[in-house]
Amino acid sequence: MKNDFNRNTYHLMEIKLSQIAARYSLCKEWLNKKEGIVSSGEKDTEVHYATYVSRVDSSLKGLDENQKTIINNDFFFQNAYPFWWETFYSQSTYYRVKKAAMSLFLRNFKDA
């Protein structure tokens, strides 16, 4: 029973991080397109996008280098090779560090 809870929690963290990464990418893309364009005077949503990007960036800063590498490669970079980590980590180390990284990132993101 405890094992099922851990798998479900792990999977939910992966889903949440995937959603955050997708939104982050969209916000960054929108901000890059918006850069240099004069506002039309409509309600400007740029602040919300910039705040979201800032929250993600500060959440990443709270991770150590191994954790950042795993989070970036698994969620933020479009990595075509799903087993990129095999040359750096054993399977157990990868999953242990990934779980800790996801947990810390989500905690940082919530508090940002």
Give residue-wise pLDDT tens across range 78-87. Answer: 777 889 999 9
pTM: 0.84
- Evaluate if residue 1 carries a pLDDT over 70: no
pLDDT of residue 3: 63
Distances (CA, A) of 104 to 8, 12, 22, 31, 49: 17, 14, 19, 27, 22
pLDDT of residue 57: 96
pLDDT of residue 91: 95
